[in-house]
Structure 1
Amino acid sequence: MFADVVARRVAAFLLLAALAVGAAARAQAPLPKPLVLTLQPGPLKQTDDIDAGSGVVDVTMTIPDVQAAVGVPLFKLPRVVANVETVALTLKDLVVRDGFGEVPLAARDVKGPDGPVRHWSSTREVQGDLVIHYQAPIDNRPPARGAAPPYSLRTEGGGFSGVGNVFLLLPGGDKNYPLSLRWDLSKLGEGATATSSFGEGDLNLPNGAPSRLWSTIFMAGPMTRVPAAVAPHGFSSAWLGAPATDPAPLMEWAGKLHQWMNGFFGDGKQAPPYRVFLRYNPINAGGGTALTQSFLITHGKGISTDDLKITLSHEMAHTWTEGVDAPWYDEGIAVHYQALAPFRAGLITAKQFLDDLNHTAARYYSDALNTTRDAEIMPRFWEDTRIRTLPYDRGAMYFAVVDARIRKASNGKRSLDDLVLEMNRRRGATSDAKSDAKPDAKPADMAALWPQLLARELGPAGTALHEAMLAGEVIVPESDDFGPCFKRTTQKVRRFELGFDPASLVGDVKTIRGLQAGGAAAKAGVRDGDVVTYAVAMDKIQGEQDTRLTLNVTRDGRRFPITYLPRGERVQVWQWQRASGVADSDCRL
């Protein structure tokens, strides 16, 4: 027995020794080498005409320890991202080196899920650190392809900005790397600083997918900041130049809203970093795009501060409510809260809330394509503004109905808020010790979860409502679904109607076809075969009854503008109005 005890003790000692050796070996193991990205913006050319600005960003990327056979893709970049042309075909002076010297390259386009992706490979074997150097051109001219997210490289106010998905070549494969971001601002002059979605100036990030750089915005130059001292957590903002309206009050407002949203969606925990970048947009002013820990919002002609407030609120809501990867949810929920959240926070008035509600309702109910099935939307997303706005508008009306039905079924004890917060917990957006769900759920799991939560609250009626929305049935909230302060009414408006096939406006060269005889475009002088450009957001025009559209027409060697009101027949739409005899203090939803 004594021998057995000794043997067990010896075995335990040997096990501990082995564990200690293993731990020491792990402690001494070298850290993975980082992917190093160095950006040097400039020289930049700017004129009084902001659309004539140009320049370059000098890009150097070092990918560590590459071993690749002949023909294996080394790095890649889509040719077009969400209707935005990248630098895949226009980059200059591309030179690549490895441990053996300069790497001979071959480029080819490969079919990707969203269009062609340019791949670069070598005609010889590659070994060692791969150093990629090239210049990404900056061109401020309005994009020829038309409406799209504001990803492109731009220069203004002595600096530049752009999203990584349009100008950064990234390694193929699924290998992760730590990231070192370095800035060289020597060509921007005094007063220039740099920032990105990840933080201020040079920075190091832990191991992660290189693709995170494609959802990152970069900005450098003599920026203005609100707040002036940027903290590592919470809200901050940056912009270049001097917009027509001082953005500082707007950004101070946004900071207050972010604090409120964090208390509501984030359970009051320390606010994550959230950076807002503001820049000029020649074709879709007032629009924006959500990025890693950040949001890019745009200003331009005809955009008011109130317009930007709603846009900021919409995109801020995405920070806490995304994860389903279904536009009816991601965009519909964001529209639902875009006026509701600042209204609850006391940052907008009841009238401003009502104006936003009626804008959404009028665009939805007057949309000639508002019965399009949900499954048809994404394949046709960029071909027609009337398709593109449906997830936003129909989604918002759907969630208003869901909210009201849950409140009524529970006698006011529960609401849509409870389901949204549960969805957040399930995907790991917030932590909750009581939740029995796995964190960081996949989008497909989240999309399947929503109907289950809805059925739990409303039974078969909830399932039927959800299926009706997906099938394209027109969703109409009841008169009191927005609380006692507002009641439903009707109004006649004119449908948005271009007067020709909307697909004419898709692509690099926009050629009019399918002209409607007797339509507004034909009456204004537009003809089939005209090549046109335009510099407005169709989604915005669709929602504004009196906004005229100007097409810059090229015909028989001549170039001239044609301006008209893109409207057709009058139709009756649902609207809401302020109920009399109810105090503003009773309007909180």
Structure 2
Amino acid sequence: MLLKKLLVAIILLGICTKAHSQIKLQLKMSHADNNVINGISVTYVLPQGYSDSKDKTILLFDKLTPLQRTRDTVFDLNAKDSSGLVKFHQVKSKTINGNDYSCLQADRSITGPLQISYRVPLANPIPAQSGPVRDLQAAGDGISGSFGSFLLLPYTDKNMEIQLDWELPEKADAVCSYGPGKSVKFQTTFGDLLEAQFLAGKLSSFVSTNHPGGFSMYGLGKGSNSEFGDAANWSAKTYQVIRDSLEGSPEKPFYYFFRSYDGPPLSSGRATSGSFVLYVPTGTSLNDEDIKSLSAHEMIHVFVADLYDPEGLADWYVEGIADYLSVKLLYDAGLISEKRYLELRNGELAEYYTNRLRNVPNQKIPQIMWSGRNAWTTPYTRGALYFADLEGKLRQHRVKKVSVLSLIREMNGIKASGRQTTVQTWADLIKKRAGDWAVADFKLMMSGRLLIPVNNAYGENFKRKPVAAQFFDLGFDKPKAIKAGEVIAGLDPKSPAGLAGLKNGDTISSAINLIPAYESYTSAITITVKRKGIDFPITFQPRIGHVTGYKWFSVASGSTRLKKHLYRRPKDQVH
């Protein structure tokens, strides 16, 4: 009898705990007087067991660092519990697990369930600073972002049960990282919830018949036409190659989200558990080669476990391996041509060798990551070159049955077993599988030592050649990015930009994407500026100095023949 009562008590405790932990979250798109979407309205109830405390409840609002929130803050906050209205006031910001939060604290202790409602307007379509796609934006006939773009919520280190319900027009629908539909129930953690992505509105959708329960694609801003269908079919094939290569589960749902709207010209993406989202500038095709490459990069993120990295020092690993494997796996599977393979490899090489920050020690990466221009590319290209060099040297040392892919699989397995993966985990693994030489190379990379991948780094059919190069330099201090409305300042009159006719005080007429210039040793750029009411296109080479870069060429095609003026002897290397 005692055992029976104990079992009943345990069951009841489980039921109560489950009921107490559930948060009923209701979302609705808000509209301006002209019926244009202008934000999101949020209502939820924190159960009694969630918020009852001797301490006064603090609501956290993700700062979305480094994007810098402007108008997308909390409006019309209304909160009440069993004792009536609850007022909140701003207190000191907090950093939890590496993320920065604005904090609102209740003026008194909470009694009973806490009902909260508020509204968050859309973010500025042109962010104040570069950063990952997480902000709240309208796209097509809907709205999208991360949950962190709008959720104002108390922190908890316990699992949360969420009942999510959307109030949407009849022909509209919703999907998020936890599943499709206007009503979704799921369990998650505080951190995972804020990172999760969503789309709501008139969605374009594709569910692969070859991957039931697996791959699906949803988007806002582009209709269900042949472009969307072609992109979805290619992406489904890419998903299968990447999933199988990294030993992902074919039964686990996988979501490819995209949003297309008028904003910056730069395509970008953000991966979370089980999904990723792409920002696709208006006018850019989903079948554009750069969009395909970006989608493959983000897929890799979903299947490669992160290193434990509270200080932001592991981008060489997570971004480097995404850059490296997304190109290698697609080429090996025949999903990109040899020409495209070399374009991508030589593009990341140009980004690296023309970057003034290429020798920055890894411990200083967080300080320079978002400092402007191509600073953010530093860990990406460094990591990609490191993994290519490691792959080539594993072949040279004839290390049997060990490759970069096998090492990443093993790291994933360590994480899946519940153990924490860190930089030291990687160092221990390469020492065990490859030897002391691999650890020595790794330490040199982390110190910022200039990387020159071995000759066979990108495959036995490709060979390395040195090329004359220069450091990327726009020739002016401000702005850091080429955005419409920004004013040129700090111009060096002797720089290529100054000699081409650019002047301090010129106003930039239209934004441009600088990445194609980063990925080239020779491409010029054209900045259109307004001066005395007249638009002037000014074209110049954004480069100065003399350094040595490297390119890889196909041995079989005979394309190793280079024009003489491209060569520069290795003695000109800058370390």
> Normalising by structure 2, what TM-score?
0.85
Q: State the partner residue of 2:571.
A: none
User: Structure 2 residue aligned with 1:130, among 98, 114, 131?
Assistant: 114
- SS at the partner of 1:389? helix
- Cα pair distance change 1:111/1:27, threshold 3 Å: closer
Q: What's the offset of the Cα at 1:564?
A: 4.2
- Higher mean C-alpha deviation, range 165-174 or range 506-515: 506-515
**Does structure 2 retain, via aligned residues, the 8 Å contact 1:84–1:151?**
no
- Name the CA distance, whole Å, in 2 between partners of 1:44 and 1:248: 33
Tell me the CA shift for residue 527 of structure 1. Answer: 5.2
Match of 2:432 in 1: 456
Tell me, what secondary structure is at the counterpart of 2:122? strand
CA distance in 2, matches of 1:286, 1:38: 31
Q: Deviations over 1:23-50 (max 9, x none)?
A: 1211123233311111111326899xxx
Matched letter for residue 522 of structure 1 = G
For the pair 1:487 / 2:475, whether they are aligned, the reply is: no
Instruction: Pick from 259, 267, 278 the counterpart of residue 279 of structure 1.
Output: 259
Asked which structure has the greater CA Rg, the reply is 1
Aligned equivalent of 2:206, options 226, 230, 235: 226
1:235 corresponding residue in structure 2: 215
CA distance in 2, matches of 1:426, 1:418: 12
SS at match of 1:220: strand
- Give the C-alpha shift of residue 496 in structure 1: 1.7
Structure 1 range deviating more: 492-501 or 158-167: 492-501
Q: Which amino acid aligns with 1:96?
A: A
Cα distance in 2 for partners of 1:447, 1:506 equals: 36
Partner of 1:585: none
Residue 555 of structure 2: aligned partner: 579
1:400-411 correspondence to structure 2 within 5 Å: 400-410=388-398
The aligned residue for residue 511 of structure 2 is 535
Letter in 1 for 2:266: A
Q: Secondary structure at the match of 1:310?
A: helix
Q: Distance in 2 between matches of 1:489 and 1:524?
A: 31
Q: Distance in 2 between matches of 1:108 and 1:509?
A: 35
Question: What's the counterpart of residue 19 of structure 1?
Answer: 3
**In structure 2, which of residues 355, 371, 395 is the aligned counterpart of residue 367 of structure 1?**
355
| SS of residue in 2 equivalent to 1:41 | strand
Whether the aligned pair in 2 keeps the contact of 1:198 and 1:292 (CA below 8 Å) is no
The DSSP-based 3-state class of the residue aligned with 2:186 is strand
Structure 1 residues 252 and 533, CA gap change in structure 2 (3 angstroms): same
Residues 1:176 and 1:27: Cα distance change in structure 2 (over 3 Å): same
Partner residue of 1:96? 79
| Residue 168 (str. 1) matches residue 151 (str. 2) | yes
Flag the 1:102–1:274 CA change in 2: closer, same or farther, 3 A. same
Structure-2 change in CA distance of 1:413 and 1:139 (3 Å): closer
Shift of 1:91: 2.8
Alpha-carbon offset, residue 107 of structure 1:
1.8
Whole-angstrom CA distance in 1 between matches of 2:103 and 2:77: 13
Alpha-carbon contact 2:71-2:124 (below 8 Å) kept: no
Q: In 2, Cα distance between the equivalents of 1:497 and 1:507?
A: 17
Distance 1:295-1:405 versus aligned 2 partners, 3 A rule? same
User: 1:6 is matched with which residue?
Assistant: none
Kept in 2, the 8 Å contact 1:39–1:183? The answer is yes
Q: Which residue number in structure 1 is paired with residue 572 of structure 2?
A: none
Taking the TM superposition and a 5 Å limit, the aligned residue runs for 1:153-302 are 153-185=136-168, 189-201=169-181, 202-206=183-187, 208-227=188-207, 233-242=213-222, 246-266=227-247, 269-280=249-260, 282-300=263-281, 301=283
| 123-132 or 494-503, larger mean C-alpha shift | 494-503
Q: Is contact 2:304–2:408 with CA below 8 Å preserved after alignment?
A: yes
- Name the structure 2 match of 1:342: 330
Change over 3 Å in CA distance of 1:20–1:547 after alignment to 2: farther
In structure 2, the residue matched to 1:550 is 527
The Cα RMSD (Å) is: 3.2
Aligned counterparts, 1:369-408, within 5 A: 369-408=357-396
Structure 1 residue 285 displacement after superposition:
3.1
Q: Distance in 1 between matches of 2:214 and 2:541?
A: 43
Alignment identity in percent?
A: 25
Deviations 1:538-557 (CA, angstroms, capped at 9, x unpaired):
4454224536253767x99x
Match of 2:38 in 1: 55
Larger RCO of the pair (alpha carbons < 8 Å, separation 6+): 1
> Contact between 1:336 and 1:396, CA under 8 Å: does it hold in 2?
yes
CA distance in 2, matches of 1:302, 1:198: 28
Take 2:117 and 2:355, find their aligned partners in 1: how far apart are those partners?
48
Q: 1:406 to 1:507 in 2, by over 3 A?
A: same
Cα pair 1:504 1:512 within 8 Å, conserved: no
Establish whether residue 67 from structure 1 lines up as the match of residue 45 from structure 2: no
Q: Distance in 2 between matches of 1:477 and 1:340?
A: 15
Shift of the alpha carbon at 1:252? 1.2
* 1:45/1:55 contact within 8 Å kept: no
Distance 1:491 1:507, change over 3 A: closer
Q: 1:567 aligns with which of 529, 542, 545?
A: 542
What is the CA–CA distance in structure 2 between the aligned matches of 1:82 and 1:45, rounded to whole Å? 32
Note closer, same or farther for the CA distance 1:228–1:133 as it changes in structure 2 (3 Å cut).
farther
Distance 1:116 1:414 in 2: 39
Provide the rounded CA distance (Å) in 2 between the counterparts of 1:390 and 1:526.
28
Residues 447 and 19 of structure 1: is their aligned pair in 2 closer, same or farther, counting only changes over 3 Å?
Answer: farther
Given residue 150 of structure 1, which amino acid in structure 2 is its aligned partner?
Answer: V
What secondary structure is seen at the aligned counterpart in 2 of 1:22?
helix
Give the TM-score normalised by the residue count of structure 1.
0.83
5+ residue gaps, structure 1 = 1-16, 48-52, 429-438, 583-589
